[in-house]
Amino acid sequence: QFDLEWDLPPVQVPAGAVIAHTGSIAAILQPGGAKVRALLEAARDTATITYDPNMRPTLMGSPDEVRPHVETYVGLSDVVKVSDEDLEWLYPGIDPRDVARRWQAGGPALVVVTFGGEGAFAVTSQDELTVAAPQTTVADTVGAGDSFMGALLHGLWEQGLVGSVERQNLHAINSATLETVLLQCTKVAAVTVSRAGANPPWLAELDK
C-alpha cells in the first residue's frame, strides 16, 4: 500500500508529443487530478491539449464542486468535446450552445457539443457549425462519446492541425475543414452505437 500523493513518480511529457488528452474522473478526483493538470500544463509547450469532461456525477460530487475544476481544464485546452447531457448537469437550465460559446471565448480554439442522434454543434473563433448525425439503428450507446472524441483527434491529425506549432492554425480552422472532420466523427459514432459493446469502426469501414 502506498500514498498516491507522494509515492508516484512525476510523469514526464514524452519528447515530441503532439496531443495530450484527458477527461472524466482522472482529471477531477484528487490527488491524481492535480498531477493530470500539471502534466497538461507542461504538455502545452509541444502538444495540442484536448479535454472531454465526461461527467460521472455519482463519483465526482455536486455540479458546484466540479464546475470550477472543469472550467480550469477548459481554459488549458485547445479542443474540448462535451455532451449536451454533461452540460445540462453542470449548468442546469442553460442552453448547451451558450455554454460552448462562453467556453470557447475563454481560450480553446474549438468546442464541440454532441447531441446524440441529433448530431453535433461546434464553435470556433471564426464560426459556428451544426452537423447532423447519420441515421442508424441503435444497439448499444456504450463508447459513443469516446469514439467521437477519437475521430475528432484523428480528423485534426489528418488536417495537420495538431501540435503546439499548429495552435494558431487550429484557431483559424475554416468551416469546410471543420465540417469534414465533424461529419467523420458523427459517422464513427453512428457505427459504434449500431453494434454491441464499445466497438468503434476501423478507418477502412467508413469507406464502405
0.85 exceeded by pTM: yes
User: Is there a contact between 60 and 28 (Cβ–Cβ < 8 Å)?
Assistant: yes
Q: How would you write the pLDDT of the chain (208 residues) with one tens digit per residue?
A: 445 455 556 667 888 899 999 999 999 998 889 989 999 999 999 999 999 999 999 999 899 999 999 999 999 999 999 999 999 999 999 999 999 999 999 999 999 999 999 999 999 989 999 999 998 888 888 888 899 999 999 999 999 999 999 999 999 999 999 999 999 999 999 998 989 888 888 888 887 6
Write down all domains in the chain, each with its CATH number in brackets: 16-193 (3.40.1190.20)
d(CA 155, CA 68): 29
Per-residue pLDDT tens for 78-134?
999 999 999 999 999 999 999 999 999 999 999 999 999 999 999 998 999 999 999
Rounded CA-CA distance 141/198 in Å is 8
* Cα–Cα dist 28/70, whole Å: 8
Provide the grid cell at 153. 483527434
Q: How high is the pLDDT of residue 169?
A: 97
The reported pLDDT for the residue numbered 2 is: 42
- Residue 5: predicted pLDDT: 52
Q: In what order do the strands lie in the sheet with 128-131?
A: 19-23, 48-52, 79-83, 110-114, 120-124, 128-131
